[in-house]
Structure 1
Amino acid sequence: MIVMKKSLPRRLFLRGLGTTLALPLLDAMIPSMTALAKTPADPARLRRLGFVYMPMGCDVTRWTPPGANRLDELSPTLSPLASVKDHVTAITNLELQNAYPGTHATSNAAFLSAARARWTESTDYYLGTTVDQIAAKQIGQETQLPSLELAMDLLATVGQCDNGYACVYQNNLSWSSPTTPLPAEAHPRIVFERLFGDGGSIADRCAALRKRASLLDSVTEEMARLKNQLGPADRAKVSQYLETVREVERRIQKAEADTADNKLPDLDRPVGVPASYADHARLMFDLQVLALQGDVTRVITFQLARETSTRAYPEIGVSDPHHPLTHHGNDPEKIAKVAKINQFHVSLFAEFLAKLKATPEGNGSLLDHSLYLYGSGMGNPNVHDHTNLPILVAGGAAGKMGGGRHIRYEKPTPLANLHLTLLEKVGVRLDAFADSQGKVDELFDPLSL
């Protein structure tokens, strides 16, 4: 006999003044029947797809894991992944043939499209629909935001940016059509309002903030009423989630307050965000956790820095600008600094994965129900090549992805093969994508070890 119970809807929101607050997946949202039947509440169907872009390639000698098949030993650059390596796969010798003739603009543009960018300095740019947007058109239609595009830098540059290519190519990772780039947002406050508030103009947001000390204060009464319908485990889960939302909001407010004391802001950094790159990045990653946990969106792209970025990283002892360092001319000291930046970026991604892993959801964790691709559209930045790309895939246990491995191809293989594979694993089936020649079957095949 099956015991039936009334369940809460998965698309449950708490509503307050200018606020729409999504909730994480609760036990009360999963009917007893889901053990036997697939429903929209089934956590196995709540898979997410994310992409994190690392600009300007890497020092491949410090990136590539030393072993084959198993990821038993991590390379120096990947060492921060130690605590989550069983959920990560490194893939060696993937390439982007359509990114040639070899530029920063085409590295960024081809990363998610695997398409050849039209060479133009004007507005007649043309690329291809990116993999994230193909996914969003199917798995993003049931969520508040079909997709979320994030970045760390202001994207104010226009015109020609790189060898005759329009700036639009290196400003935007996501394209919803070959002629429609989707601008990314770098300001945590604006992202926060998109996820949990009504948005509006800057003036509207400032006025709303003056009316309420905290987003959560406006839904207190509704929260209390909801908790009366939940069991102890769900009440604890809701409380933990809301405390996380409140903490992220507090950090955003502090960063905005600190702006007045920062007399020399980073020109790449929007006013009102943390002065430290790491603090800004962690805030943007934490917003992704909240967006995924609340099922506000299931598709996310995040650009860690813009191609040709001249950002320095004094917090890790690198005061030289990033882009000039990548044209190192085989200078060992410059190469070591590039590798240090690469490792720093990986460490922030590792922290993010650890938070996903520590967030329970359904019969596993948020990491189990997500797939993330981390990497770059450039291999060796000193020569601007697009082969042997630094690529990682994380998460996906609900899709039976076997982590803790190193897939090493003997010959250069299209990155589009991986895009096609990830699409299939989140339920989007295509015969081909861009220049794909097949799929990365080893990624989800435990027998390949």
Structure 2
Amino acid sequence: MPTPLSRRTLLRGAGALMALPYLDAMLPASARAAAAATPPARMGMFYFGTGMNMRQFTPETEGKDFELTRILKPLEAHRGHFTVLSGTYLEKGGGHDGAYPFATSIAKDQKQSISPDQVAAEVLGRDTRYSSLQMSVKRGTGFGEQPLATIAWNRQGVPLAAENDPHVLFTRLFQPDTEQQKSQQSTEFRRRRSVLDLVREDANKLSRQVGTADRDRLDQYFNSVRELEQQLARRVEWSTKGKPSPDPDGLRDYSKNMTPEGVPGFFYDTYAKLMYDLIALALQTDSTRVVTYVVRTELAGGVYPEFGVSKDYHALTHHGNDPQNLEELAKVDTIYMNHWAYFLGKLRSIKEGDQTLLDRTVLGFSSGMGIGHSKDLLPTVISGGSGLGIAHQGHLKLDKTPLSSVWHTMIDRVGASPAGQFQDSTGVIKKLISA
């Protein structure tokens, strides 16, 4: 019987080291069948700022054979792979600051806590180059500003910056580093280690000279330093491992910068598919297993010339029951849902043994508000995850249920559910979990 191939086997060529992808030959024969049947779990959270036209989003009928509404009609081909959840709400949501409590249930003016994606990343991200990936239509965090550009928060309540350029993201994920970049990285790693060592030494001395309250603040600071050390250790570990090379067949053009912010000739349909394809590639190549994506921010933008509507998205939400405003809202929401249907189709097209990438990935989208800037009647859908024990119900009407219960259900299914109370969740949504 042949000896199993080492998981850390490297290919050597042209002076470079390239880590092999996951291979069946890396396992003993007795374990190969089980491994092939159980690819890793993945999770994604998606934010659609400023709500949706819930009058043409919310289905009237329930169950697996529910009638899709106008906005949801693009998802028809994926029936059985998603569930529309009516009755979700954000206690601290509504208004223009709903992005802040979206993932944490904590209002803008309060200290934030870890978001569900980062809870999942602590478990799922141990063996990937990037523990999580933050994407958005706006670069950075937008913290303290309008609009917020990220929905990811670490354990210290610090927002994690998002990237909005598919070219930058593709380069980060898949472009091999040059020798000059490797040299610069090595110098940077040494410098950062030295700085962190000095900071830790000085902070330890200081902690012995201050009172209890200041010591608590220093403990938070120490946590941040430890997190930086962990990030640096991860970067050092992965710096010698080659990045995956996506199959060029059918790959979109990521060679040029493209962001929604002031680029001539910007076309949203192209951009949306570049971003969704990137998520699929990142998950398929196991570059990461956790993704957040702010698909539409609050207030600014949300519509593009090709949409053929008269106002920006936020202006349309102040519809005043005007038929044209409501019609254009539904038109824009349907465009976004067409792109979501494209994304689900992409994940379903990628086979993993007798399952698909969508089966092994649980996705949730919603918003910080419903129609009319309310904190309830949120446009909430959970997709994928059938291979993780998600039992889709078509349209499930919930009693008034915190949005955190949706996130709770998702992190439970990927094996990251924390012990004890999770945010303001009333527990996992049991009807979504297969027996």
Displacement of 1:276: 0.6
Cα distance in structure 2, aligned partners of 1:310 and 1:351: 22
Which residue does the alignment assign to 2:389? 400
- Please show how residues 203-218 of structure 1 align to structure 2 within 5 Å: none
Which residue is equivalent to 1:335?
326
**2:225 maps to which residue?**
none
In the alignment, is residue 181 of structure 1 matched against residue 159 of structure 2?
A: yes
1:132 aligned to which of 106, 117, 121: 117
Instruction: For residue 355 of structure 1, give the secondary structure of its aligned residue in structure 2.
Output: helix
* Cα pair distance change 1:388/1:6, threshold 3 Å: same
Query: Could you say what secondary structure the match of 1:52 adopts?
Result: strand
**Aligned match of 2:46:** 52
Which position in structure 1 is the counterpart of 2:29? 32
Q: For the residues of structure 2 that align with 1:204 and 1:16, how far apart are their CA atoms? A: 19
Q: Is the 8 A contact 2:48 2:365 kept in 1?
A: yes
The answer on 1:6 being equivalent to 2:43 is: no
Letter in 2 for 1:73: E
- Provide structure 1 residue ranges, at least 5 long, that are not aligned to the other structure: 120-125, 159-165, 206-222, 224-237, 260-265
> What is the CA-CA distance between 1:318 and the residue it aligns to?
1.8
Gaps of 5+ in 2: 183-241
| 1:231 paired residue number | none
TM-score, normalization by structure 2: 0.77
1:148 aligned to which of 133, 139, 146: 133
Work out whether residues 19 and 197 of structure 1, in 8 Å CA contact, stay in contact via their aligned partners in 2.
no
Give aligned pairs, total. 375
Alpha-carbon distance, 1:18 to partner = 11
User: Match of 2:390, as an amino acid?
Assistant: M
- Over residues 11-53 of structure 1, what are the superposed CA-to-partner deviations in whole Å (9 max), with x where a residue is unaligned? 777788899877765554565323676xxx5552501000111
Which of 82, 96, 104 is matched with 1:104 structurally? 96
Residue of structure 2 equivalent to 1:247: 251
- Local SS of the residue matching 1:174: coil
In structure 2, distance between residues paired with 1:320 and 1:167:
22
Cα separation, 1, equivalents of 2:429 and 2:141: 37
Q: After superposition, what is the alpha-carbon deviation per residue over 1:147-202, rounded to whole angstroms, capped at 9, x for unaligned?
A: 000012345867xxxxxxx21772221111353100100011110121113679xx
- Match for 2:415: what amino acid? G
Aligned partner of 2:150 in structure 1 is 172
Identify if the C-alpha distance between structure 1 residues 15 and 4 changes in structure 2 by more than 3 Å, giving closer, same or farther: closer
Q: From 344, 353, 361, give the equivalent of 1:370.
A: 361
Q: Is the 8 A contact 1:18 1:197 kept in 2?
A: no
How far apart in 1 are the matches of 2:45 and 2:289? 11
Deviation at 1:338, TM superposition (A): 1.0
1:104 Cα deviation after fit: 1.8
Report the equivalent of 1:197: 175
Q: Secondary structure at the match of 1:74?
A: coil
Deviations 1:353-406 (A, max 9, x none): 1011010113311111100002212111x2x21112111111111123223521
Residue 439 of structure 1 pairs with residue 428 of structure 2: yes
Aligned equivalent of 2:73, options 74, 79, 85: 79
Q: Distance in 1 between matches of 2:356 and 2:17?
A: 24
Tell me: CA distance 1:436–1:415, structure 2 relative to 1, closer, same or farther (3 Å).
Answer: same
Gap change, CA 1:18 and 1:426, over 3 Å in 2: farther
1:232-257 Cα offsets, whole Å, 9 max, x none, are xxxxxx99x5125x823xx122x44x
Partners in 1 of 2:331 and 2:16 — Cα distance? 41
Determine if contact 2:141/2:159 at 8 Å carries over to the other structure: no
Corresponding residue of 2:406: 418
Secondary structure of the 1:243 match is coil
Q: Distance in 2 between matches of 1:16 and 1:35?
A: 28
Deviations 1:49-94 (A, max 9, x none): 0011111111112101222122442111011111112101111011
Q: For residues 323 and 13 of structure 2, what CA distance do their matches in structure 1 show?
A: 57
| SS of 2:247 mapped into structure 1 | helix
* Equivalent position of 1:391 in the other structure: 380
Does the CA-based 8 Å contact 1:80-1:343 persist in structure 2?
A: yes
- Given candidates 79, 82, 97, the residue that maps to 1:88 is 82
What's the counterpart of residue 415 of structure 2?
Answer: 427
2:384 and 2:15 mapped to 1: Cα distance? 34
- Which residue does 1:211 correspond to in 2? none
2-side partners of 1:156 and 1:442: how far apart? 35
Normalised TM-score (structure 1): 0.75
Q: Report the CA distance between 1:351 and its aligned residue.
A: 0.4
Q: Is 1:284 the equivalent of 2:281?
A: no
Cα deviation 1:95-131 (Å, max 9, x = unaligned):
11022xx3222x1111111222326xxxxxx222111
Structure 2: how far apart are the matches of 1:29 and 1:243? 26
Provide the residue aligned with 2:315 in structure 1. 324
Q: Judge conservation of contact 2:142–2:150 (CA < 8 Å) in 1.
A: no
Give the match for residue 219 of structure 1: none
Relative to structure 1, the CA distance from residue 29 to residue 387 in structure 2 (aligned partners, 3 Å threshold; closer, same or farther) is farther
SS class of match (1:389): coil
Q: Would you say 1:379 and 2:376 are equivalent positions?
A: no
Q: Residues 21 and 67 from structure 1, CA distance in 2 versus in 1: closer, same or farther, beyond 3 angstroms?
A: farther
Aligned counterparts of 1:187 and 1:97: Cα–Cα separation in 2: 33
Give CA deviations for 1:190-234 in whole Å, capped at 9, x if unaligned. Answer: 10121113679xx979xxxxxxxxxxxxxxxxx9xxxxxxxxxxx
For 1:178 and 1:69, the matched residues in 2 are separated by 40
SS in 1 for 2:79: helix
2: CA distance between counterparts of 1:392 and 1:20? 42
Separation in 1, partners of 2:67, 2:14: 52
Distance change in 2, residues 1:32/1:178 (3 Å): same
Bigger CA drift: 427-436 or 276-285? 427-436
Q: C-alpha deviations, 1:233-291, integer Å up to 9, x for none?
A: xxxxx99x5125x823xx122x44xx8xxxxxx8x52659x711111111011111110
Confirm whether residue 269 of structure 1 aligns to residue 266 of structure 2: no
SS, match of residue 336 in structure 1: helix
